[in-house]
């Protein structure tokens, strides 16, 4: 199959309405869109990505007014969070409408819904006028794609088209928050931080924290978290205290926040062949997946990552760093 590179959001919408697979930019990462009500197209999507069928897809809509086309019930917390953060990097999980296919939700009675802010995504969704199911546009298990060229590297020849846009500005995925029950709970940290969400709905819980506290109640379900994620070919090490015991094989790159000279003086910097110095957590998140992919392309065998701070956007980036390093398997 030849993968077309598109510049028009309307052309991308036509491919999706016609049952095709078309990748498109969002502010978080590129998504791989299909008509969420087309059974055959959804089936082809899982095959193209090599994605396990129990991992549900997020349904993307153009506007809050279309929520009822996917959600059977809109809880107060969902409405408050969407009013505050949508369009933007947030996904709310709500009871699903019967028209949303079981293949999309992995058999769950709920559906994840997101309204992306990226203008090209907005144009594409409003031209399509249908709910668009879209996982991140990468081969399953690999780092997500934040440039159209990386989408072509991973999925070229396996999908119908890529809508060409700029590099993604947030760089890590949306925050997935389960609003289907009384107290919302964050299943996946992401572009909207837990602190921002608690300013709007103070009762928001964090699944990750509760796991660490060995919470024994009924765990909400986020099937996607069971599968390996975000892993480049190179070995990823977190440059915390434990890196010293690990053998550094082949060419090594170190990624951290700070001045180049300062990172060169610190221990992981000294042993690396290349040092990538970034000036903020935002820049680190924005460039994260592309740095993993670029390190693979340039033949690095070891990627050492300075761990992100554990609050704000840093907490979401740290989650991705730990998964890339194979440290989180749930
Ligand atoms: O930023 C994003 O969210 C990107 C862009 C393209 O929108 N999409 C994305 O999709 O990251 P994906 O498929 O790579 O990750 C979706 C995550 C998975 O962890 C999945 O388990 C969870 O959302 N999810 C989706 N529907 C769910 C549901 N009904 N209940 C619980 N978790 C759900
Ligand atoms: Mg993904």
Q: Give pLDDT, residue 31.
A: 98
Q: Give pLDDT, residue 224.
A: 63
Atom of ligand 1 nearest to the CA of 220: 31
CA distances from 65 to 4, 61, 81, 82, 87 (A): 32, 9, 15, 11, 12
Q: Please name every residue paired with 95 in a beta bridge, in sequence order, or none if there are none.
A: 110
pTM (global) more than 0.85: yes
CA 104 to chain centre: 17
CA distance 195 to 180: 20
Residues having CB closer than 6 A to ligand 1 are 26, 28-29, 31, 55-58, 91, 93, 105, 108, 110-112, 114, 116, 134-136, 173-174, 176, 187-188, 221-225
Cα dihedral sign, 211-81-119-32: positive
Atom of ligand 1 nearest to the CA of 28: 1
Q: Please name every residue paired with 23 in a beta bridge, in sequence order, or none if there are none.
A: 32, 162
Q: Give pLDDT, residue 7.
A: 98
Kindly state the tokens that stand for 287: 């460039």
Residue with CA closest to ligand 1 atom 32: 222
Q: Determine the residue of 176, 185, 191 to mutate for testing ligand 1's pocket, defined as the one with the most ligand atoms within 8 A of the Cβ atom.
A: 176
Q: Which ligand is nearest to the CA of 188?
A: 1
CA distance 258 to 290: 19
Q: Give pLDDT, residue 213.
A: 61
Strands 161-163, 132-133: pairing kind: unpaired
Q: Give pLDDT, residue 41.
A: 98
Q: With beta carbons less than 8 A apart as the criterion, state whether 31 and 135 touch.
A: yes
Q: What number of residues does the chain have?
A: 330
Q: Give pLDDT, residue 182.
A: 86
CB neighbours of 2 closer than 8 A, spacing ≥ 6? Answer: 157
Tell me how many degrees the CA angle 307-300-295 measures, rounded to the nearest 5. Answer: 65
* Low pLDDT (below 70) residues in the chain: 211-226, 329-330
Q: Which ligand is nearest to the CA of 142?
A: 2
Atom of ligand 1 nearest to the CA of 55: 21
Q: With beta carbons less than 8 A apart as the criterion, state whether 148 and 25 touch.
A: yes
């Amino acid at each position: 199959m030849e993968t077309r590179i598109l510049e028009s959001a309307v052309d991308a919408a036509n491919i999706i309405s016609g049952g095709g697979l078309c990748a498109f930019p969002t502010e978080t990462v590129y998504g791989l869109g299909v008509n969420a009500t087309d059974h055959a197209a959804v089936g082809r999507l899982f095959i193209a990505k090599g994605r396990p069928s129990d991992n549900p897809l997020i349904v993307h809509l153009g506007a809050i007014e279309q929520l009822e086309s996917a959600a059977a019930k809109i809880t107060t917390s969902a409405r408050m969070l969407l009013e505050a953060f949508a369009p933007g990097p947030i996904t709310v999980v709500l009871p699903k409408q019967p028209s949303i296919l079981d293949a999309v939700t992995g058999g769950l009675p709920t559906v994840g819904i997101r309204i992306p802010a990226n203008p090209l995504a907005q144009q594409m969704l409003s031209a399509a006028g249908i709910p668009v199911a879209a996982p991140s546009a990468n081969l399953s298990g690999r780092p997500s794609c934040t440039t159209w060229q990386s989408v072509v590297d991973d999925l070229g020849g396996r999908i119908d088209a890529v809508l060409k846009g700029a590099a993604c500005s947030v760089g890590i995925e949306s925050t997935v928050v389960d609003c289907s029950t009384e107290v919302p709970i964050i299943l996946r940290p992401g572009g909207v931080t837990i602190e921002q969400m608690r300013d709007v709905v103070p009762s928001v819980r964090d699944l990750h924290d509760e796991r660490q506290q060995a919470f024994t109640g009924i765990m909400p379900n986020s099937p996607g978290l069971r599968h390996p994620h975000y892993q480049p070919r190179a070995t990823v090490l977190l440059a915390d205290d434990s890196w010293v015991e690990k053998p550094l094989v082949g060419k090594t790159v170190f990624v951290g926040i700070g001045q180049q000279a300062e990172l060169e003086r610190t221990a992981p910097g000294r042993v690396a062949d290349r040092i990538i110095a970034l000036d903020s957590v935002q820049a680190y998140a924005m460039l994260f997946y592309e740095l993993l992919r670029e390190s693979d392309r340039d033949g690095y065998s070891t990627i050492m990552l300075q761990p992100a701070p554990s609050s704000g956007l840093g907490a979401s980036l740290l989650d991705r760093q730990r998964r890339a390093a194979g440290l989180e398997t749930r």
